[in-house]
Amino acid sequence: MGLPKIDLPIFELKLPSTGKKVKYRPFTVKEEKILLVAQQDGEAEQEILATKQIVNNCLIDIDITELPMFDLEYVLLLLRARSIDNSIGFTVKDPDTEETVELELDIDNVKITKDDKHTNQVKINDDFTLFLKYPNIDQFIQIITMNQEDPLMNYFIMTSCLDKVASEDEVHDFKDYTNEQIDEFMENMTGDVVTGIKEFFETMPKMRHEIKYKNQNGDDKTFVIEGMRTFFI
């Protein structure tokens, strides 16, 4: 006779990007092992791959490659809080005194920050508007594994967010066009359009939290946690 199969509870959360409700189950020992291995490795790519595997295992009936990175980070945050503990203790080194400081993070206090100026639309001219999308986890993996000295890296990041270009009468989805056609289109863009795309990235929602502490000199300091660092510190 085999060991009994234990049914896991099912919970519901709202995705920050859309407000859509999705179902998830908590971590099991399997996901905790994945998290521990990634923590020990300390490599950015392994941390991203661990995030992808854990969220993919725990979310129910949803394609995680369609989610922006900050959605995945938020889901992992909630999974960690509901499955293990909502408190994470860790140490940092103060940059001024070199002392080791013990800090504690309450996951329930971490939020997705949003810039009021953020928009996914960039006006090209009086007729056409460029619509942008958030890079998904597979695109993010490509970005972090690229040679950081590659002069085309910023261009790849920029084109990875292209969704569609539209006027009142027509809509063109970039997924329907080749890389060569997209390159030709982008070569005709003005500096204002490129600036608009950069602002899209600079103001896009992100997971960010500040922890205040005093160093041994009595100075008030702030330790900032952004993105997946919440889980791999």
Reading the chain (233 residues) residue by residue, the pLDDT tens digits are 677 777 788 999 899 888 899 999 988 888 888 888 887 776 777 888 888 898 899 999 888 888 898 898 888 888 888 887 788 888 889 999 999 999 988 888 888 888 888 999 999 999 999 999 998 888 888 777 777 677 777 888 888 899 999 999 999 999 999 999 999 999 999 999 999 999 999 899 988 889 999 999 999 999 988 876 555 55
Are both 96 and 186 inside the same structural domain? no
Residue 5 belongs to some domain of the structure: no
Are both 109 and 16 inside the same structural domain? yes
Distance CA 124, CA 200 (A): 14
Structure token digits, residue 13:
């959360």
Are both 140 and 179 inside the same structural domain? yes
Residue 138 belongs to some domain of the structure: yes
Are both 195 and 213 inside the same structural domain? no
pLDDT of residue 158: 87
Distance CA 41, CA 31 (A): 16
- Domains in the chain, number: 2
Residue 4 belongs to some domain of the structure: no
Are both 194 and 103 inside the same structural domain? no
Residue 228 belongs to some domain of the structure: yes
Residue 224 belongs to some domain of the structure: yes
Are both 50 and 95 inside the same structural domain? yes
Our CA angle for 73, 79, 85, nearest 5°, is 115
Are both 82 and 147 inside the same structural domain? no
Are both 16 and 109 inside the same structural domain? yes
Are both 193 and 218 inside the same structural domain? no
Are both 82 and 125 inside the same structural domain? no
pLDDT of residue 9: 87
pLDDT of residue 61: 87
Are both 137 and 172 inside the same structural domain? yes
Type of residue numbered 164: K
Residue 1 belongs to some domain of the structure: no
Residue 6 belongs to some domain of the structure: no
Residue 92 belongs to some domain of the structure: yes
Domain enclosing residue 228, as ranges: 11-113+206-232
Structure token digits, residue 103:
């800090």
pLDDT of residue 38: 80
Of 17, 111, 109, 27, which is closest to residue 69 (Cα–Cα)?
17
